[in-house]
Structure 1
Amino acid sequence: MKLLGISGTIIGAKTGIVVKKVLEEVERKYPDIEVEFLDMMDYQVQFCDGRDPNTYSEDTKKVIEMVSSADFYIIGTPVFQGSIPGVLKNLFDLINPNDFRNKVMGFTANGGTYQHYLVIENQLKPIAGFFRAFVAPSYVYTNRDHFNENNEIRDPDVLHRISQLADEVIHMQKTLKKEYANSTE
């Protein structure tokens, strides 16, 4: 099983730091899980315009393939102007909805205020619902107060929630995989 962590921004470090921290927890606790990290900063992704995916640039095709081939996800986003950035929305638009169907999604977000956690509730969870994905019950939200001057997560509650999210996505994915295997027998 491959877990893909996605940092859905092209600016800032905190989103990637939190996603990587969840992935590190998974690697530490569940060495049988393949982990991959997609940092949208590393790719020049074209805007979705409805064309055949094979006609996009190599970077865009690579990102589509990475996302489509994963079994489940940790998706991280910063919150800008009370919403997810266009980079992440564009990524969702590029992926065939069937490629997210019946897959587990766990979310992380970071923003400037404590109230921006609502972006997970009011935007990301409904998007996952549209895709018919399964959403981990907990999520990780951080703001600048949760990091030290070296951009390291210093808040023990956030570290606990990171560990909890790692456990939840693994438990959900393994349970769903077993259930689907049993239903096809």
Structure 2
Amino acid sequence: MKLLGISGTITGSKTKTVIEKLLEEVKNNYPEIEVELLDLKDYKVEFCDGRDPSTYSGDTKKVIDLVSSADFYIIGTPIFQGSLTGALKNLFDLVPPKVFRNKVIGFAATGGTYQHYLVIENQLKPIAGYFRAYVTPGSVYVQHDHFNAQGELVDEHVLERIANLSNEIVSMQKALKGNRHEYQHS
């Protein structure tokens, strides 16, 4: 099973730090799970223009193929202007919705205020619903105060939520994997 962590931004480092911590937690507790990080900052992804996704090339094709090859996901975004990043929205537009169908997604977000945690509930989860993906009940929201001056996550409550989400996503994936054949033709 392959878990893909997606850092859905082309700026900053906090979202990547959170996704890396979630992937590290999964790898430490479930060594049988293959984990990989997709950091959108490392790719020059074209804007979605409505064409067939198979016609893209270069980094855009690499990113689409990487997302398509995963069995389940942890997706993170910083919250800008009360919403997910344009880079992550563009990724969602590029990848065919059927790629996410019947796959498990866990969400993480970072932001400057505590109120921005609602973006997970009000924007990210509905997008996953449109994809007909399974969403973990829990999520991780990290506010700037949860990092130390070196950019490390230090808040014990956040670290506990990271541990909980990493266990939740693997448990859901393992439980659903055995029943996956029943839903392939939905």
Q: TM-score range by the shorter chain?
A: over 0.9
Q: Which residue of 2 aligns with 1:27?
A: 27
Partner of 2:115, secondary structure, is helix
Partner of 1:35, secondary structure, is strand
Partner of 1:38, secondary structure, is strand
Pick which of 39-48 and 54-63 moved more.
Answer: 54-63
Q: Which residue of 1 aligns with 2:121?
A: 121
* Separation (CA, whole Å) in 2 of partners of 1:135 and 1:34: 20
* Separation (CA, whole Å) in 2 of partners of 1:151 and 1:48: 32
Q: Which residue of 1 aligns with 2:105?
A: 105
TM-score, structure 2 normalization: 0.96
Q: Which residue of 2 aligns with 1:94?
A: 94
* Separation (CA, whole Å) in 2 of partners of 1:169 and 1:183: 19
Q: Which residue of 2 aligns with 1:68?
A: 68
Q: Which runs of 5+ in 1 are unaligned?
A: none
What is the correspondence of 1:1-185 to structure 2 with a 5 Å cutoff? 1-181=1-181
1:49 alignment partner AA? D
The percent identity for this pair of structures is: 66
Offset of residue 83 of structure 1: 0.2
Pick which of 45-54 and 19-28 moved more.
Answer: 45-54
Offset of residue 181 of structure 1: 5.0
CA deviations over 1:121-166 (Å, ceiling 9, x no partner): 0000000000000000100001110000000001000000000000
* Separation (CA, whole Å) in 2 of partners of 1:150 and 1:183: 45
* Separation (CA, whole Å) in 1 of partners of 2:164 and 2:127: 22
CA deviations over 1:51-75 (Å, ceiling 9, x no partner): 1223323100000000011000000
Contact 1:112–1:143 (8 Å) recurs in 2: yes
Partner of 1:50, secondary structure, is coil
Contact 1:106–1:139 (8 Å) recurs in 2: yes
Residues paired across the two proteins, number: 184
**Root mean square deviation, CA, Å:** 1.3
Offset of residue 50 of structure 1: 1.3
CA deviations over 1:19-54 (Å, ceiling 9, x no partner): 000000000000000000000000000011111223
